Amino acid sequence: MHPFFLFSRRAPLITSVMMTLVLDLYGQTLGVYHNYTETTATLQTYATLYPDLLELGSLGHSVLGSEIWYARISDHLESEEDEPEVRYISTMHGDEPVGTELCLYFIDYLLGSYGTDPRITDLIDNTDITIVPLMNPDGRDAQVRWNAQHLDLNRTFPEGALVDIGNLLDGPPMDTSGRPPEVVHIMEWGAANRFTLSANFHTGALVVNYPYDNDNLGSVHSPTPDDALFIHLAETYSSHNGPMWNSPWFHHGITNGADWYAIDGGMQDWSYRYLGDNHVTIELSDIKWPSEGSLPSLWDNNRESMLSYLESVHMGIRGIMTDATTGLPLEGTVRVAGNEQAVFSDPDVGDYHRMLLPGTYDLTFTALGYEPVTIYDVVVTSGAATRIDIQLESIPVYLEADFDEDGDVDGSDFLTWQCGFGLQAGGLHCDGDADADTDVDRADFLLWQSQFGSFEESQILGPPIPEPASGILLLAHLAVFLVRGRFSVHGPIIV
């Protein structure tokens, strides 16, 4: 995961007591606004000072060539673990810079408290945290909302309200065509990982906005299948921010996105629909660009909110999906009865994390080529996630040897198979050029296969299908077919 350019420089760790002094020596300070160059220098400083806790990398470049930095914080940066992945993303609108500063504060807080504060240590030890402080560096340096193409990055994600955009494992492939590079990078990064919980930061209001922003109903309340969960998550954030919780405009400082105003192409809806990621939009200040002197108080108002929100990822049901025979991790889907929203296991480890409120649930686990499994009456409490590890059995695949479909498996089937591949036997020769392209090759075999309702190329495993010159090898395989009548294997067919 995170297959992107990395910045890494080994250096001795430094204590949190010395952190402010060292940052000052590097020319970096918190509580002031950072442009792109200053943000870059600050992140590189943290990567140097905390090489065992922070991985600094780039998701790609902006229109004008600036890096879109991410800072990943984990106790085991070198490996994938059975942990939920969470992320904060900020300043996709360049004239809303407060989130960048709160992200830098938060990075400093986590790194400086690890090993001394049990709560922070536990969070980092059990959660994979990634922070993108500045998604729109070109807009930030120009102090405008848009990117350098004059596009609103929060209106250019695929919109799933009217069109089926599918999800990670089902439906149409991810569509990045014609989108600004900053959006493409975020989309590709999201699809390469399995984020369970996310938020993106804005200013111009003081509220937590949760999906849907658009469900083709207009500017009215448009709930997701996880509406109650999203209300809980939004209030988890707002309840620790006094000014937000006591908003005169939004009850408890939260709102359904479309109920506030509907938009097309928003990041949070795409993340939820396509990635299965519980994603909200957090507006940090009624003033879009508040004075620099207000940054410390904004951090004070949001510190506990930012921490509590990420901690909530550990609620619900979690586990690992594996192959029952090999024990290898599986990429699959987890669905809750009565809720159409899918979440997905991580193919690297097989871990899944389904956030749920306390209750009793039935869950169905599926993976391509495996028998689905349903587990009933799983109890979720208000504490740590309930663990359900699941092993799936591969589906047996049968290839019938009655190729001429006359009801018998006999010599004529043997000849039919041969003819399909242009082989000679008993004085008989058949033209195997099924697609009439003058070559007898794998494409002809697959076309011929389809006539018998057989299997696609993606389901064939092992050596390449032999060409006519390799007919002896094919005959040896066919002898097994004729003796047994049909060939049953677990998993893909080998011919």
pLDDT of 397 reads 59
DSSP β-bridge partners for residue 285: 205
Taking each helix axis from N to C end, the angle separating 118-126 and 295-311, rounded to the nearest 10 degrees, works out to 60
What is the C-alpha separation between 282 and 208, in angstroms, rounded? 5
Within 288-387, residue ranges assigned H as helices are 295-311
347: domain CATH number?
2.60.40.1120
* 415-421 long-range Cβ contacts below 8 angstroms, 24+ apart: 417/478, 417/481, 418/471, 418/474, 420/444, 420/445, 420/448, 420/449, 421/445, 421/448, 421/466, 421/468, 421/471, 421/474
CB count in 10 Å sphere of residue 199: 26
Given 314, 339, 360, which residue is the final one in a domain?
A: 314
Sign of CA dihedral 182, 140, 103, 243: negative
What's this model's pTM, rounded to 2 decimal places? 0.79
Q: Where are the beta strands (DSSP E) in 8-150?
A: 54-61, 67-73, 85-90, 128-132
251, 282, 314: which is the final residue of a domain? Answer: 314
Residues of the chain with pLDDT under 50: 1-22, 24-27, 422-429, 452-495
Task: Print the domain residue range for 129.
Answer: 5-314
Q: Looking at the structure, do residues 344 and 404 belong to the same domain, yes or no?
A: no
The answer to whether residue 495 is domain-embedded is no
Residues 98/104, Cβ–Cβ less than 8 Å: no
Tell me the per-residue pLDDT of 191-228, one tens digit each, with 9 for 90 and over: 999 999 999 999 999 999 999 999 999 999 999 999 99
Where does a domain end: 366, 392, 418? 392
> What is the token pair recorded at 380?
């979720």
Q: Do 381 and 462 have their domain in common?
A: no
Q: What is the pLDDT of residues 356-404, one digit of tens each?
A: 999 999 999 999 999 999 999 999 999 999 999 999 999 985 555 565 6
Q: Do 256 and 370 reside in the same domain of the chain?
A: no
118 and 262 co-located in one domain: yes
Establish if 387 belongs to a structural domain.
Answer: yes
Q: For the chain, what is the domain count?
A: 3
CB 215 within 8 A of CB 270: no
Residues 248 and 353 in one domain: no
Q: Is residue 61 part of a domain?
A: yes
**The pLDDT value given to residue 230:** 98
CATH classification at residue 11: 3.40.630.10
Residues known to be catalytic:
283
Report the chain's C-alpha Rg in angstroms: 28
Same domain? For 297 and 344 the reply is no
Q: How many helices (H) and strands (E) does the chain have?
A: 14, 21
Same structural domain, 249 and 184: yes
Let me know whether 74 and 90 are in one domain. yes
Token code pair at residue 288: 């879009």
Residue 275's nearest CA partner among 370, 345, 215 is: 345
Residues 145 and 293 in one domain: yes
Q: Residue 484 falls within a domain, yes or no?
A: yes
- Both structure tokens of 369: 């080529």
